[in-house]
Chains A and B, each alone.
Chain A
Amino acid sequence: MAALKITKMALNSVLALMSERWDVFVPSPSPAPGGPSGFRLFEPRPMPAPGKPGPSERDSSVNRQTCDEDTLWNGTGQGGQKGRDRENHLPEERLPQFLRRVLTVKPLKELFFPRSEPILGYCVDGAFGGNGDGTGVSVFMPEGVLPGKPRVVFGARPCDAASLTVLDRVFADEAYPDDFYISRRKNTIIVGLGCNVPAPTCFCPATGGDPFGTAGLDVLAYDLPALDGDGSSQGHYLMKAVTREGEALLGFLSEAHLGEGPSESDERACMALEERARKAIAAGLPADTQSLGRVLGGIFNHPYWATLHEKCLGCAACTYLCPTCHCFDISEEPDPGASRSGGESPKGGPERPRLTGVRVRNWDSCMFPIFTLHTSGHNPRPTGLERVRQRVMHKFYYFPENFGAVACVGCGRCVKYCPVNLDIREVISHIAALGGTGVAESISA
């Protein structure tokens, strides 16, 4: 099935049906004005027991004010069972409204490269170095890390989907394939949602993207507004398959008679949306980033970096929220009760408990001084100057040199959430201008 049109009113039924076969993730709604915070598992609402009032019959407006974002949606947050109850207060017609907000705060990468995940578990018997006879230490995969059920993401933005094609280059390389990431990529179908009205911070076209780009997507959905005189409807989603997996997904939905094929006027409406979005985003774009490397190669020692970094606080918001940033730390989390560090060899000492624990990888950031700090105290990137330069160089020079793609998809998150308004679009344009003035050549010479 190449294309399928569903009404927005049917969205919940569509997601519920998909949930039977896939774990379905949607942008999680947030009552805060900032928009959805990240992607969450969609749990279909249970059917109301006969005789009891259905969830939607309760007064949702009261709860909307008191719910925090974690508990509002399907209770996967701290809210526990209470959250599960509250989820039912979310009127289903709100989801399309959430989807209309352009970007989640946290990027899509979290579903493939989680903020924190165990990469191995260990168990050490007897003395902490094993039993002394070559036994007593085992290393294993921690349970429940890898996804079991295949997944569908509904409502990813094209920039976030494109970011996965950047991350693929790092985690799915030939030399050291990382199946934590790869297995999640392989079992996830991504339904994107084109951006009818790009946010003021969006600049995907300057990175080779497009508000209706399909890179990294299996299906691209168009948000078709309600037509005049179509009073009861909120409009439609027109879903177009990009890959075979996407086609299969649409086939599955159409078999359940949840939609219909698009008409010619729908196609025209899609084209109109694309044109309007492209026109809107074209105003205020920074310079194109794809040839920035040529300039950056010559300005490593340019005085610009000294002024640029001055206002940066080193908070790392820009890198944590960036969909293409992949740096991580590996740290040890021994279970409480047994810690070996600093102790003398336990040989001959009192019997100590068996040591178990996990090794965890966590998002990390090149904006922190400790990121590159040697034990000797030497730090190759001792100040903000080197660190801000590293971030810019990595995205627009080093990464393209290594992988043939810029490591920025123009999502604008770092622009929006930087507390001191260090705007990467200005950085891009400034650097491009340095190239134009021939500074690059003179500095490198």
Chain B
Amino acid sequence: MRNPYLPDIARIEKIIQETAANDVKTFRVTFVDDEVRERFSYRPGQFSEISVFGVGEAPISITSSPTQKGYLEFSVKKMGVLTTALHHSAEGDLIGIRGPYGNWFPVESMEGKNLVFIGGGIGLAPLRSLINYVLDDENRGRFNDVTIIYGARSPGDLVFKWELEKWEKRRDIDFYLTVDKGDAGWSGREGFVPTVLMEVSPSPENAVTITCGPPIMIKFVIQNLLKLGFTPAQIVTTLEMRMKCGVGKCGRCNIGSKYVCKDGPVFTYEELQRMPQEY
């Protein structure tokens, strides 16, 4: 019986509080069944449907990188019913996971290129999978310069702070951290991500840019990238639509003839331009 809706059971190993308001938590999970752990292979950019039994499911990006073996990580913002229930769970609890679903970042075509990551808020979650993939010792040599621009509304809203520190220290990354507005303890950069992008002004030459964040940020980031001379094909982003099945059957996540759960969530801006503006 092939039941595409049947999740595998995974155990929450670790929960990390990410934001000051505690509205984002990262969950490190492992499959209970060894065989599933072996079988579950994914690429940066893909997502899973996460179950809390008795509550429901939600699509969540896999934020860990396939180079991190043995576990998966998901960063979840408390939004509605499922995400709240997940926030209420404890280490050791069991959840359901099915996937991986969707397409992935075009890693092969990024080889030998300069990569510019532009993230806002929890939008860093899907980018982080690719960043850590690229930064892995085995892979770093396949890619050229890496630039990361990441920002959030306030210092308290920055996610993965425990990892940002490591990225800041690395000498093979140009890392720009910014907040819309700092607080007393903040000595870093202030300014909106699209503005910082113009200051950094990365060259489109032999480059690919990957962006994810709040819709309004993505909009201005894309405008500015075009100003900097990036072509629509050089701009990669990920989309969200309401989802249920994750496998192209329940019919709700389409934009034109593309299903975000199957044909996405990763699209180039060139592809988006060919799709109806209905997302």
A357 touches B53 (CB 8 A): yes
A372 touches B85 (CB 8 A): no
Interface residue A272 (Cβ < 8 Å from any Cβ of B): no
Q: Of the 9-residue stretches B63-71, B180-188, B246-254, which lies at the interface with chain A?
A: B246-254
Query: Range of interface residues on chain B?
Result: 35 or more
Chain B residues with Cβ below 8 Å from A361 are 5, 250
B55 touches A340 (CB 8 A): yes
| A residues 131-182 in Cβ contact with B at 8 Å | 132-134, 136-139, 141, 146, 170-171, 173, 175-180, 182
Interface residue B153 (Cβ < 8 Å from any Cβ of A): no
B80 touches A371 (CB 8 A): no
Residue of B4, B56, B89, B276 touching A176 (CB-CB under 8 A): B4
Please, how many angstroms separate the alpha-carbon atoms of A372 and B259 in the complex?
13
Chain A residues with Cβ below 8 Å from B248 are 170, 173, 175-176
A129 touches B12 (CB 8 A): yes
A327 touches B54 (CB 8 A): no
Interface residue B16 (Cβ < 8 Å from any Cβ of A): no
Interface residue B270 (Cβ < 8 Å from any Cβ of A): no
| B residues 77-131 in Cβ contact with A at 8 Å | 79-81, 83-85, 88-90, 92-96
B6 touches A139 (CB 8 A): yes
Residue of A375, A386, A393 touching B80 (CB-CB under 8 A): A375
A119 touches B5 (CB 8 A): yes
Chain A residues with Cβ below 8 Å from B90 are 129, 345, 347
CB distance from B153 to the nearest CB of A (A): 15
Interface residue B207 (Cβ < 8 Å from any Cβ of A): no
Interface residue B200 (Cβ < 8 Å from any Cβ of A): no
Q: Of the 9-residue stretches B141-149, B189-197, B236-244, which lies at the interface with chain A?
A: B236-244
Chain B residue nearest to A386 (CB atoms) is B278
Please, how many angstroms separate the alpha-carbon atoms of A378 and B249 in the complex?
22
| A residues 348-381 in Cβ contact with B at 8 Å | 355, 357, 359, 361, 364, 366, 371-376, 378, 380-381
Q: Of the 9-residue stretches A44-52, A232-240, A331-339, A411-419, which lies at the interface with chain B?
A: A331-339
B88 touches A179 (CB 8 A): no
Contact mask for chain B residues 209-249; partner A; CB cutoff 8 A; 1 contact, 0 none? 00000010000000000000000000000001110110111
Known: A374-B240, A380-B278. A175 touches B262 (CB 8 A): yes
Interface residue A1 (Cβ < 8 Å from any Cβ of B): no
Interface residue B21 (Cβ < 8 Å from any Cβ of A): no
Interface residue B57 (Cβ < 8 Å from any Cβ of A): yes
A134 touches B5 (CB 8 A): no
Interface residue A217 (Cβ < 8 Å from any Cβ of B): no
Chain B residues with Cβ below 8 Å from A170 are 248-249
Chain B residues with Cβ below 8 Å from A119 are 3, 5-6
B252 touches A371 (CB 8 A): yes
Interface residue B156 (Cβ < 8 Å from any Cβ of A): no
Chain A residue nearest to B11 (CB atoms) is A134
Known: A129-B95, A375-B79, A398-B254. A359 touches B5 (CB 8 A): yes
Interface residue A122 (Cβ < 8 Å from any Cβ of B): yes
B254 touches A394 (CB 8 A): yes
Contact mask for chain A residues 200-227; partner B; CB cutoff 8 A; 1 contact, 0 none? 0000000000000000000000000000
Chain A residues with Cβ below 8 Å from B240 are 374
Chain A residue nearest to B57 (CB atoms) is A330
B54 touches A372 (CB 8 A): no
B56 touches A345 (CB 8 A): no
CB distance from A117 to the nearest CB of B (A): 11
B250 touches A330 (CB 8 A): yes
Interface residue B166 (Cβ < 8 Å from any Cβ of A): no
B54 touches A357 (CB 8 A): yes
Please, how many angstroms separate the alpha-carbon atoms of A179 and B6 in the complex?
12
A372 touches B241 (CB 8 A): yes
A328 touches B5 (CB 8 A): no
Chain B residues with Cβ below 8 Å from A342 are 84-85, 88
A141 touches B3 (CB 8 A): yes
Please, how many angstroms separate the alpha-carbon atoms of A36 and B20 in the complex?
61
A146 touches B12 (CB 8 A): no
CB distance from B7 to the nearest CB of A (A): 6
Residue of A173, A330, A344, A381 touching B88 (CB-CB under 8 A): A344
Chain B residue nearest to A330 (CB atoms) is B244
Interface residue A81 (Cβ < 8 Å from any Cβ of B): no
Interface residue A73 (Cβ < 8 Å from any Cβ of B): no
Known: A129-B90, A372-B242, A372-B252. 7 other contacts (CB 8 A): A128-B53, A133-B92, A175-B262, A179-B3, A341-B85, A344-B88, A359-B56
19 contacts between A and B (CB under 8 A): A122-B96, A137-B53, A173-B248, A177-B2, A178-B249, A179-B2, A179-B3, A328-B244, A328-B250, A330-B244, A331-B56, A341-B84, A341-B85, A342-B85, A355-B54, A357-B53, A359-B56, A375-B79, A398-B254
Give chain A's interface residues, CB within 8 Å of chain B: 119-120, 122, 124, 127-130, 132-134, 136-139, 141, 146, 170-171, 173, 175-180, 182-183, 300, 326-332, 334, 338-345, 347, 355, 357, 359, 361, 364, 366, 371-376, 378, 380-381, 386, 390, 393-394, 397-399, 401-402
